[in-house]
Amino acid sequence: MGDLICLEICAGAGGQSLGLEQAGFAHEAAVELDPDACQTLRLNRDSAWKIIEDDVHNLDGRAYTGIDLFSGGVPCPPFSIAGKQLGQDDDRDLFPQALRLIEETSPRAVLLENVRGLATRRFDGYRTQVLEHLHALGYQTWWDLVQASEHGVPQLRPRFVLIGMTEPWAGHFRWPQPSLHPPPTVSDTLHDLISERGWPGADEWRNSARGIAPTIVGGSKKHGGPDLGPHPGARSMEEARSRRARCRR
């Protein structure tokens, strides 16, 4: 059996893209607006993926009709839309565009992920609108919180994941079971890369990075980029910075 074909929007620098590739999906296209993220995609996958640097509002899904999977890390709806109707004008909310593209492409399956805040009660009405739209298109749907650290990722990264599938494939869907093993540590995962060019502090760094990383959250170019937010991750990262500084000395 050949590769399954996917179209991914809001691809970022390719984290989800790489996971899909490892799961056997070939990208018909990866769509991303940010030029720096697109440059990262080109440096790593330019020969394998069609990389579209554009706003998803400009994408015509009819060119990708019949793909196996439509996927994306769609930006979280801003909290100001809670209680409003799906599709009201708000360029920051890309769920309406994702639903438009799903309708145009008619994929067999849909995978969209978001921050866990979308699971809160204030978004009940919004989630219902999304699910009703997908049901009208013939999809069975599942929405659940997935902890990345329970699936081999060395990071505290909870994500709210939406799955939609058409029949007959919907009857076979099951959420992956959490690993029975503890998550790998940052040092387990990155030591070979850290030491690749002979950095003399690599082994000392490994000894100080025997944990999992905090989540990088929020932020924007306007406000200085991503940060660790007001949670324990900030303290963990500050401790990691101090350890790296000691390793350099």
One digit per residue, pLDDT tens: the chain, 249 residues?
Answer: 458 999 999 999 999 999 999 999 999 999 999 999 999 999 999 888 999 999 999 999 999 999 999 999 988 666 555 556 666 656 678 999 999 999 999 999 999 999 888 999 989 999 999 999 999 999 999 999 999 999 999 999 899 999 999 999 999 999 999 999 999 999 999 999 999 999 999 999 999 899 999 887 655 565 555 555 544 544 554 555 554 444 444
Domains of the chain: 4-172 (3.40.50.150), 186-248 (no CATH)
Q: Catalytic: which of 6, 10, 76, 247?
A: 76
Q: Decide if 6 is catalytic.
A: no
Q: Quick one: pLDDT at residue 2? A: 59
Mapped to the 3 state alphabet, what secondary structure does the chain carry?
Answer: CCCEEEEEECCCCCHHHHHHHHCCEEEEEEEECCHHHHHHHHHHHCCCCCEEECCHHHCCHHHHCCCCEEEECCCCCCHHHCCCCCCCCCCCCCHHHHHHHHHHHCCCEEEEEECHHHHCHHHHHHHHHHHHHHHHCCCEEEEEEEEHHHHCCCECCEEEEEEEECCCHHHHCCCCCCCCCCCCCHHHHHHHHHCCCCCCCHHHHHHHCCCCECCCEEEECCCCEEECCCCHHHHHHHHHHHHHHHHHC
Q: Quick one: pLDDT at residue 11? A: 96
Q: Quick one: pLDDT at residue 106? A: 97
